[in-house]
Structure 1
Amino acid sequence: MAVLLAVFVVPMSISGTAVALPRIGAGTHAGLAPLQWVVNAFNVAFACFTLVWGSVADVVGRVRAFAAGVALYALGSLAGAVAPGVLWLDAARALTGIGGAAIFSCGAAILSTVFDGPARARAFALFGTVAGVGVAVGPTLSGVLVQGLGWRWVFAAHAVAVALVLPALPTISRTVPALPAPPAGTARTGRGRIDVPGSALFVLAMVLLTTAIVQGSQWGWGSAGVLGLFLGAALVLAVFAVVERRTAHPMLDLGMLRDRRFVGLCLVPVAASFGFVTVLTYLPSYLTAVTGRGTGAAGLLMLLLTAPVLALPMLAARLVTRGVPALTLIRLSLVCLVAGDLALTLLSPSATVLLLAAPMLVTGAGMGLSAGLVDGQALALADPAKAGMAAGFLNTLRLGSEAVAVAVYGSALATVLGGRIADGIGAHPGAAGGADRTAEVTDVAAVTDRAAGGDFAGAAELSGATDRHAFTDFLAHAYDSAFHSVLWGLAVVGAVLSVAIAFLLRDGGRPRQTGA
């Protein structure tokens, strides 16, 4: 129960914060880049440290690592609630992400250690269900808190909720058995020292990669800064691979990646990141800015997307116990993700709740069918002595891909939206800097920055347009067009990933027998 309570709170940091972004931007007067980092700082930190925490847990103990994560999460959430500015808030969100990484990777390792067989399947179904509850109530609770008390209470609520786990830590320590000993004749990879060089290299690579993606729309995708960051990330990852092969106690045992069943299952959350998490993060802005709904109404509508994530993990577990192949449900989840993203392209500024329901429910089903089920299937393939490492790798791909997907979506949306605004801003008197081309370019970038964050009123005021109502309508149509273009891209990415996963899991997912 203590593990599940902590797991319940963490997804609220992703889904709930998205609803608060427009108010945070207006309250702190933040530009698009620092506002994006309110979400991205959590995701990047989570992605960077999940694998690190998994490895650390196999060395110092899973309960100790889990306890450290709970404390960091509570501290980071409290710091976010009292943040005096957006940069402080970004730093607090990064600290919260580090704590959340420990909660997820160490919590999953604890469940994998305590339970086995059908009990493990039920435990991970509850794991997925509770995570789904956090995702489901995050937008709704945040919408109510933002509208009634202000955006700071979103983070205060996270701090209070996760602090309730702290009194249960002594009980967890007595319940969880000692780390299993490695098989005779094998290296004690999971019980050695902490791989500090490997951890540092991995964190550096993830920071470089995600920063390049986030800044792509700001600096230009072909700019020296962005290309340098991508190149730096690739070089650091190459060095990381060399270091991990040569160290006696690696943070990541690369031998785990020889099992294509394990790799295929770990890629399923990647598909969910592009097909579901991006929509979860940015659809609230679409609902408030383009369709004109309030934050409370948008939060309630998001239940259509998140309710399947609440209901379906336990249903999937029951179906598996009754003989339905787990891989069949996983493949069905991938189909739902792609179909749901395609159906979302039917949305329009005048979309009714009935029109919103079908694509949102289907997209949510794509996430819900695989949540928890994938974790149990993947960790069942891992050496029990390396359960922390395996859980860390799985959740690194999950949260790393979420960070990348959200950053790609935000950058792509800003890039496409900037093009739409540049094409039409000249038709509005007073906007675009008049005859001064330099001022025009500056105005378009500034207006795009505000509009991409959902602040159309601020963007219209910044533009200098004489008819601000007409200019606001223009921004809404431009945002709607950019939103649909990016959705088509998400559907393509989801289809490609689905084909790759099906290839890895072909023939029942049995690994190819090679000499490797």
Structure 2
Amino acid sequence: MTQTESVATGPEADPPGTAATRTDAPCTDAPGTAATRTDSPGTTAPRRQTLILTAVLLAVFVVPTSISGTGVALPHIGADIGASLVPLQWVVNAFNVAFACLTLAWGSIADIIGRIRAFTIGAALYAVASLVSVFAANVYVLDAARALAGIGGAALFACGAALLSTVFEGPARGRAFALFGTVAGLGVSFGPSLSGLLVETAGWRWVFALHAVVLGLVLLAVPAMSKGVRETRDQDARIDVAGTALFVVAMLLLTTGIAQGSQWGWASPGVLGLFAGTVVALGAFAAVEKRHTHPMLDLGAVADRRFLALCLVPVAGSFAFVTMLTYLPSYLTAAGGHSSGAAGLIMVLLTFPMLVLPLIAAKLVAKGVRAMTIIFVSLVCLVVGVAGLSLFSPDVDLALVALPMLITGAGYALAAGLVDGEALSLIPPERAGMAAGFLNTLRLGSEAVAVAVYGSLLATLLTGRTSDGIAAFPGAGDAATVAGTAAGGNIDGPAEAVSAAQREGFVDFLVDAYDSAFHTVIWVLAATCLVLLATVALLLRRGGGKSPTAPAS
């Protein structure tokens, strides 16, 4: 039986005579059987839409700001609470691991318990965790609080995107996701600067205090938000506990392996065992999902070539843009001899496109430009831009590298948000949470992988180049130790170990080695982006026609 009814309810509903209608999917209205509601997006009143968008954007800004900005505070945290290196690193790693493990799980849970409820739980967890971080007396409490914040952040990111997909449609959806991408990119881009300012002026605890304040404001908006969301929720579904547990185990093994690879060695039994365990857990996860009535991940959606192709677009951004955002400042200070402040100003060339291009892309789509055309342009920009960064040298004229930096930033900015809206439009509304969770799992998981691969490859190449000539500098120490320190952007430290007469020559030697390793890594990144561009094009060409999972028009 098909049922049609008005969706305009509550004080902010559309006026009489203008209410949109909703056609529910066929369902059995037998006693004890709950129907699946399929509400049309875009029926929320404009004021409610603005409130929901504002709350989601505030939450979305906090998450990437925390990801990119917390590292700035680590030296101050260590000095204040007496933390050693390994537990101090887990202030960052605990958040990233928890986030990567649970983004997909939260998306699926939101489809069952409701996106507003899941979003609220995530905001509450994050706010509480931030308050605990503010008052943490030792690093282990801080590590636990950061893991809890990662769990909340996963809910905010997955459910925030699903909420926008539910509330907006058409050009308004494009603009909403453009803002989503812009704010997320700004959080990643300016997180280190904002955190550094707070650390220098107020102390490291205020980094987490700011997160608590912002999430508190979001929680205050929840009651009004809930009146403006017509959710789709399968009340008969049950949380996929087995699938969720297996996926969390797989992601925990993978991200722990990546996080510990630089410490244990990438070919060590421990790291290889973690990666092997990841493969086993993912295999078991796929087997469970195929048999589950209400799986956490609909493998049919992942099998949709168009959806999978769009989910791969942010992966290219991770390898081209996020790696440069993380490591180019080290190159500028170590090889280029710039101060930290000057390096930060130069990085504006990379991040500036995030301020304007996501909204420009949305306006172009609203005027009739195909979204996929813009997405392909973004991928081409990533390949060309990151290859152009090979023009960098220790004494390069910044005017020469300004263009490739802007092109790389443009490649990331053009697809930011736009790809989310396009991908979620292929998925039925009742599975939007799962789809958003999968997309953001690939996005953030690939960032962790890309950053780890860059760091590992740079350290490996730099060790090889340092080993070739370090014998000429007595007292310099072990090549691997020197290379590891230099890879982190500190060349002056190792230079203190050699005699004053050889110091200048040793610095020149390390700069040349760093520059050579950097350029090799750049070409590896460019090749990776080119492969991803070709893969996306191939998937979209073979995935023509209407998606079997797409909602009926």
TM-score (normalizing by structure 1)? 0.87
Q: Could you say which residue in structure 2 is the equivalent of 1:407?
A: 452
Aligned to 1:439: none
- Residues of 2 paired with 1:458 and 1:35: CA distance? 21
Aligned with residue 69 of structure 2, among 10, 16, 19? 16
- Provide the residue aligned with 1:160 in structure 2: 213
Q: Name the counterpart of 2:312.
A: 267
User: Could you report, residue by residue, the CA deviation over 1:99-150 in whole angstroms, capped at 9, with x for unpaired residues?
Assistant: 2211111011111111222222222122122223323432432343455555
Verify: 1:451 aligned to 2:502, yes or no: no
Aligned pairs for 1:79-228 within 5 A: 79-80=132-133, 90-149=143-202, 151-177=204-230, 179-180=231-232, 188=234, 192-228=237-273
Contact kept? 1:19, 1:295, Cα under 8 Å: no
Task: Classify 1:251/1:357 alpha carbon distance in 2 versus 1 (closer, same or farther; 3 Å).
Answer: same
**Partner amino acid, structure 2, of 1:202:** F
Greater relative CO (CA pairs within 8 A, separation 6+): 1
Alpha-carbon contact 2:189-2:325 (below 8 Å) kept: no
d(CA) in 1 for partners of 2:515, 2:139:
27
Q: Which residue of 2 aligns with 1:369?
A: 414
Q: Deviations over 1:411-462 (max 9, x none)?
A: 2222222223333322222122xxxxxxxxxx4443334333333344445x
Alpha carbons 1:14, 1:281 under 8 Å: kept: no
Report the Cα distance in structure 1 between the residues aligned to 2:212 and 2:60, rounded to whole angstroms.
13
Q: Distance in 1 between matches of 2:140 and 2:510?
A: 27
Whether 2:59 is the aligned partner of 1:59: answer no
Answer whether contact 2:305 2:543 (CA < 8 A) is retained: no
Question: Does structure 2 retain, via aligned residues, the 8 Å contact 1:214–1:411?
Answer: no
User: In structure 1, what is the equivalent of residue 46 of structure 2?
Assistant: none
Instruction: Calculate percent identity across the aligned residue pairs.
Output: 65
In structure 2, do the counterparts of structure 1 residues 338 and 374 end up closer, same or farther at CA, with 3 Å as the change threshold? same
Between stretches 104-113 and 474-483, larger displacement belongs to 474-483
C-alpha contact (below 8 Å) 2:106/2:154 kept by paired residues: yes
The structure 2 residue matched to 1:394, chosen from 427, 439, 447, is 439
- Deviation, structure 1 residue 60: 1.6
- Which segment drifts farther, 38-47 or 231-240? 38-47
2:47 match: none
Give 1:23 deviation, angstroms. 6.7
1:274 counterpart letter in structure 2 = F
Aligned 8 A contact 2:305 2:542 in 1: no
Distance in 1 between residues matched to 2:75 and 2:226, nearest whole Å: 41
2:339 counterpart of 1:304: no
Q: Cα deviation per residue 1:259-290 (whole Å; 9 max; x = unaligned)?
A: 11111111111111111111112222223333
After superposition, give the CA deviation of every residue in 1:202-249 in whole Å (9 maximum; x if it has no partner): 111112122333333443333322222221110110000011111222
8 Å CA contact 1:267–1:397 kept in 2: the answer is: yes
Tell which deviates more after alignment, 355-364 or 397-406.
355-364
Aligned equivalents of 1:420, 1:452: Cα separation in 2:
12
Contact 2:83 2:139 survives alignment (8 Å): yes
Structure with more of its chain in helix, by fraction: 1
2:522 corresponds in structure 1 to 487
Q: For 2:162, give the aligned amino acid.
A: A
Pair member with larger Rg: 2
Tell me what 1:504 maps to: 539
How many Å apart are 1:325 and its aligned residue? 0.9
Change (3 A) 1:31 1:498: farther
From the superposition, tell whether residues 217 and 138 of structure 1 become closer, same or farther in structure 2 (CA, over 3 Å). Answer: closer
Q: Name which of structure 1's ranges 14-23 and 51-60 shifts more when overlaid on structure 2.
A: 14-23
2:337 aligned with 1:292: yes
* Residues 88/427 of structure 1: CA separation in 2 closer, same or farther (3 Å cut): farther
Distance 1:326 1:248, change over 3 A: same
In the other structure, the counterpart of 1:348 is 393
Q: Are the equivalent residues in 2 in contact too, given 1:55–1:389 (CA < 8 A)?
A: yes
Partner SS for 1:54: helix
Q: Name whichever of 210-219 and 482-491 sits farther off.
A: 210-219
Rounded to whole Å, the distance in 1 between the matches of 2:123 and 2:508 is 45
The normalised TM-score by structure 2 is 0.81
Q: Distance in 2 between matches of 1:365 and 1:166?
A: 34
* Correspondent of 1:70 among 119, 123, 146: 123
The one-letter code of the counterpart of 1:125 is A
Question: What is the deviation of 1:387?
Answer: 0.9
Uncovered stretches (5+) of structure 1, i.e. residues with no partner: 182-187, 433-442
Task: Find the aligned partners of 1:351 and 1:67 in 2 and give their Cα distance.
Answer: 49
Residues 357, 34 of structure 1: alpha-carbon distance in 2 compared, 3 angstrom cutoff: farther
**Cα distance, 1:84 vs structure 2:** 6.0
Structure 2 partner of 1:231: 276
SS class of match (1:465): coil
RMSD: 2.9
Helix, strand or coil: the match of 1:215?
helix
Please give the alpha-carbon distance, in whole angstroms, between the structure 2 residues aligned to 1:225 and 1:504. Answer: 36
Q: In the TM superposition, what whole-angstrom CA distance separates every residue of 1:150-195 from its partner, at most 9, and x where no partner exists?
A: 5554444333333332211221222222x325xxxxxx5x851111
The answer to whether the 8 A contact 1:58-1:191 is kept is no
Q: Which moved more, 1:286-295 or 1:110-119?
A: 286-295
Q: Distance in 1 between matches of 2:335 and 2:510?
A: 9
Structure 1 residue 492: Cα displacement? 1.0
Tell me which amino acid in the other structure corresponds to 2:276. Answer: L
The count of residues paired between Structure 1 and Structure 2 equals 494
2:304/2:543 contact within 8 Å kept = no
Alpha-carbon offset, residue 38 of structure 1: 4.9
1:297-350 per-residue CA deviation (whole Å, 9 max, x = no partner) reads 333332221121221111111111111111110000001111111111211223
Report the equivalent of 2:35: none
